[in-house]
Structure 1
Amino acid sequence: MLAFYYGDECITFERTNRVNSIQRVLIKVYPDCRVCAHAPSTASDAEVLEAVKKRARWIYQQLRNFREQLTHITPRQYISGESYYYLGKQYMLKVLEAPEAAPNVKLFRGKLEVTVQKRNPKKVQALIESWYKSRAKEIFAKRLDAVINQTLWVTEQPPLHLRTMKTQWGSCSPNGRLTLNPHLVKAPCECIDYVILHELCHIAEHNHSEQFYRLMKQVMPSWEKVKSRLDGMAASFLNGIQK
C-alpha cells in the first residue's frame, strides 16, 4: 500500500501492475472506497505516487461522494417493506409465508413477492439472489443481441458469463469472453447497454486507450452521462444495501 496526504486526510491506495504495454497510470476509486492505481511494471513507486498525487483532488471528491452514499444506506434484513431495484425501478418486498407452497419469487402488482414455507431472512436472501441471477442471464442475453450490431469489429457472438463481483460491472477476457455482474440487472437498460458496449469495445482495444474511447463514443455518444448515472447507484446495487 502507498499513501499521500490531501489536506489533512491521508489517502492510501493499492498499486497493481498493468499487463499491457500502456504506460499511463490508471486510477480507480471503487464504491467501497478502495483506491487502486494500475501502473506499468516498469514504473517505480515514486513515479506512481507522483501520478496519483496529480489526481488527488479528483480522488478526494470520489471518496467523498461514495462516503456520502454509504451514510444514507442500511444493511438489508430481507423483510417486507424493503425496497429492491430491477431494471432501474424500485419494488417493495413482500414476504409471504405459505407452509404448503413451493418457494417462489415474482414481480406482482408493483411488488417483489417472495413465498417461503417459513419466514427466514437467509432463505429469503438466497431466493432473491437466485432470482436476480436468473433474470440477469435472460436480460443480458437480450441486451447483447440488441447492441452487438453496433460493434462492427465483433464478427461472432461472444460467450457471456455471470459472476458476482464487489467492484466491477463486467470484464472482457483476452479471447473475447464477456463476464457481467448479475447485480447489473438492477440498473436501467441503458446502463446495462453501456457496460456491454464497454466490454465489446475491449474486444478491439484491450486497454483504455484513446482509440478505445473513440469506439465508445461511436457506439454510445452519451456514454459518459450513462456511466455517471450508473456510478451514482453503484453503492446500493453492488453492496446489497438499501437507501
Structure 2
Amino acid sequence: METQSIIYGDERIGFTVRFLPRPQRCVAIHVMPDGAVCVDAPEHSELTQVIAAVRQRARWIWSQLEAQRKRHLHVLPREYVSGETHLYLGRRHILKVHLDEQVPSRVRMWRGRLDVTTRSREPVAVRRLLEDWYRIRAQEVFAQVLASFAKHTAESKSAPPWRLLAMRTQWGSCSPKGELLLNPYLVKAPRACIEYVVAHELCHLIEHNHSPRFYQHLSAMLPDWQARKDELDGMAEWLLNR
C-alpha cells in the first residue's frame, strides 16, 4: 500500500493506494465511514496517474469528508446509562439498565426498550453486554439475508463461508478465498442497508473488484442499491458510535 496526499483548497487530503491485479480496470475511490480515503488501482498503474485521478475527484472527496464532519458534530459519545437510545435494524430503542446481583446478566428487547439486567452499572459492563447481544442478533440476521441472496451467486445455492469481524472503516469485505467478513454493528442499520452490504460482498465472489461488470451484477441483484448505500452512508456515524 502507498500512502499519498493532495492539497485541495486549504486542506491536505491523505489517502492510501492499493494496487490490485486484474480484473481491476480503473481507479476507484472510496471514502470510508471514519473518514479514511482509500484508492484501488490496477496493479501496473503509474502512481502519478493514480494521483492525477484523485485530484480530478478532489472536490467530490472533500464534499464527502465535509458531510461526515458535519454529521459527527451531532453524535454524542455513549455513556451506557438508562435513557440513551440505541439502534437495532434501523429503529431506536430506549436503554433501561437494571441493577440486580441475584440474577444472571442479560439483555432483552421489551416493548420498545433494550432492557439490560446487570450486576454492575459500570458503563464498560453494560457496553460488553450490549456488544454480545448485538453479535448474537447479527449472526441471526446476517444468516437469513445471506441465505436469501446465495442463489444469485453460487451453483450450490448455499451461503459462502462467513464470520463477524468488528471493523472501524468497513461494513464488510470478501477475501481472495471467498470468505465474507461482516461488521456486527451493521445489525443496527435498517434491513435494506444490510441487504445492500451482503449483496455487495457476494458480488465480489464473481468480480473481485469494482469494475463495470461488478456493478452490473450488483444492479441485477439489487436495482436500488445506490439508494440503500446512500442511506447507510448517511447514518454511518450513528451506527459506528459504540
Query: TM-score normalized by structure 1?
Result: 0.93
> Does the 8 Å CA contact 2:172/2:183 hold for their aligned counterparts?
yes
How many angstroms apart in 2 are the aligned matches of 1:166 and 1:154?
33
Of 117-126 and 27-36, more deviation after overlay is shown by 27-36
How many angstroms apart in 2 are the aligned matches of 1:195 and 1:41?
26
Amino acid at match of 1:155: S
How many angstroms apart in 2 are the aligned matches of 1:152 and 1:136?
22
- 1:65 aligned to 64, 67, 80, which one? 67
The offset of 1:156, in angstroms, is 4.0
Question: SS of 1:79's equivalent?
Answer: coil
Amino acid at match of 1:87: L
1:209 and 2:211 are equivalent in the alignment: yes
Unaligned runs of 5+ in 1: none
How many angstroms apart in 1 are the aligned matches of 2:64 and 2:228?
17
Partner of 1:26: 28
How many angstroms apart in 2 are the aligned matches of 1:7 and 1:179?
37
- 1:90 aligned to 70, 89, 92, which one? 92
- 1:120 aligned to 105, 119, 122, which one? 122
How many angstroms apart in 1 are the aligned matches of 2:147 and 2:24?
31
The offset of 1:222, in angstroms, is 0.4
> Does the 8 Å CA contact 2:150/2:157 hold for their aligned counterparts?
no
The offset of 1:52, in angstroms, is 0.3
Query: TM-score normalized by structure 2?
Result: 0.93
- 2:37 aligned to 32, 35, 38, which one? 35
**CA deviations over 1:68-91 (Å, ceiling 9, x no partner):** 111111111111111100011000
How many angstroms apart in 2 are the aligned matches of 1:154 and 1:161?
21
Q: 1:20 to 1:238 in 2, by over 3 A?
A: farther
Of 197-206 and 21-30, more deviation after overlay is shown by 21-30
> Does the 8 Å CA contact 1:15/1:38 hold for their aligned counterparts?
yes
**CA deviations over 1:92-119 (Å, ceiling 9, x no partner):** 1111001111100010111111111121
Name the Cα RMSD after superposition.
1.5
How many angstroms apart in 2 are the aligned matches of 1:43 and 1:145?
38
- 2:5 aligned to 3, 20, 27, which one? 3
**CA deviations over 1:22-48 (Å, ceiling 9, x no partner):** 242221111221112222343333222
Of 151-160 and 8-17, more deviation after overlay is shown by 151-160
**CA deviations over 1:182-237 (Å, ceiling 9, x no partner):** 01100111111111111111111111111111111111110000010011111121
Q: Percent identity between the aligned chains?
A: 44
Partner of 2:80: 78
> Does the 8 Å CA contact 1:167/1:238 hold for their aligned counterparts?
no
1:14 and 2:16 are equivalent in the alignment: yes
> Does the 8 Å CA contact 1:106/1:113 hold for their aligned counterparts?
yes
Unaligned runs of 5+ in 2: none
Q: 1:154 to 1:65 in 2, by over 3 A?
A: farther
